[in-house]
Amino acid sequence: TDRKKLHTAPVGQVFRLRPFHVLVATGGGYAGYRKYEDYKLEQLEKRGIEVPVKLASEWEVALYKSVPTRLLSRAWGRLNQVELPTWLRKPVYSLYIWTFGVNMKEAAVEDLHHYRNLSEFFRRKLKPQARPVCGVHSVISPSDGKILNFGQVKNCEVEQVKGVTYSLESFLGPRVSTEELHFSQAPPGNSFQQQLVTKEGNELYHCVIYLAPGDYHCFHSPTDWTVSHRRHFPGSLMSVNPGVARWIKELFCHNERVVLTGDWKHGFFSLTAVGATNVGSIRIYFDQDLHTNSPRYSKGSYNDFSFISNNNKEGIPMRKGEHLGEFNLGSTIVLIFEAPKDFKFNLKAGQKIRFGEALGSL
């Protein structure tokens, strides 16, 4: 008589699954599987074994995109803003330091109790002498990271990693008006690549730098140049680690990105900050109107902003090594620029590089 009644819902209600839940569960499981595959590839690379390229099929890309990475990234961003109790800061940050190999001796503030939340820790500043800027070479690395690829742009295609390419025009979007960039009008009928090259005898070059979670998350101006235009592409926030970049063709064209274009002494110059999972926030210091990872966006859309105005006829001048922007965790920087044919990169694919070190020179 003391037994309590057990109230149960109809079996149909208990086991009712919504399509969204199925997509999240399936996509999340598949993303975990891909992470494991990436780990195996990294181990093979460390042993010097060349890994053959195996591209994802359309359904695999669609399945990966079904994971709500934008929503998860916004949630991660809010979590990062939560102030940690003083007693918890050192254990949490120490675990992150150990996991990703962070060198706190380079930080301007080494005391872990100083950082109120994870966001402040991710965006920590470096000591002034930690990254000397190379004054000899014309182009320096804008950030810490790993060189995924570099070289000349050929046939309007850019390599994100060896053997995996993406379309130059899809990545940068339609050409910005020549009036904004002070460029001469290209002859009609030329390819998109030829339209970007403004001086006879020049070539178009590219360099891809991957920022790991443990890297310094700010990025700087890679040379002396003038920023005339910003184009923001809302998009997916898939992982951009080397394993995924080797797996998904045109990964950088799928993901959210901020393209800064302008000119330097040799012609066209652009720097693109590519977003990734948990990196929904891309900040450009001089661009207060930029807001990334918004909840709503139209697929394939982009928005433009010109820094050329009646009050500013030249744009935003940037000096080599000057602070330019930051990520909230780590992602990718892509440089695409025009230079004479004798421009040479001083790099090796896969090498680690730090902000301020030389990328190349004439």
Tell me the catalytic residues: 144, 220, 331
Cβ atoms within 10 A of the Cβ of 251, count?
A: 25
Q: Are 330 and 211 in contact (CB under 8 A)?
A: yes
Hey, is 354 helix, strand or coil?
coil
18: tokens are 């919504």
Query: The dihedral of CA 194, 197, 203, 204: what is its sign?
Result: negative
Rounded to a whole number of angstroms, the distance between the first and last alpha carbons of the chain is 92
Among 126, 80, 128, residue whose Cα is nearest residue 103? 126
Report CA-CA distances (Å) from 254 to 23, 65, 119. Answer: 19, 9, 26
Q: Are 333 and 145 in contact (CB under 8 A)?
A: yes
Strand boundaries in 234-322, DSSP class E: 257-264, 267-274, 282-284, 303-306, 316-318
Report CA-CA distances (Å) from 148 to 53, 142, 237, 240, 260. Answer: 14, 14, 19, 11, 20
Among 314, 312, 292, residue whose Cα is nearest residue 303? 292
DSSP annotation of 238: -
Hey, is 219 helix, strand or coil?
strand
CA distance 120 to 115: 6
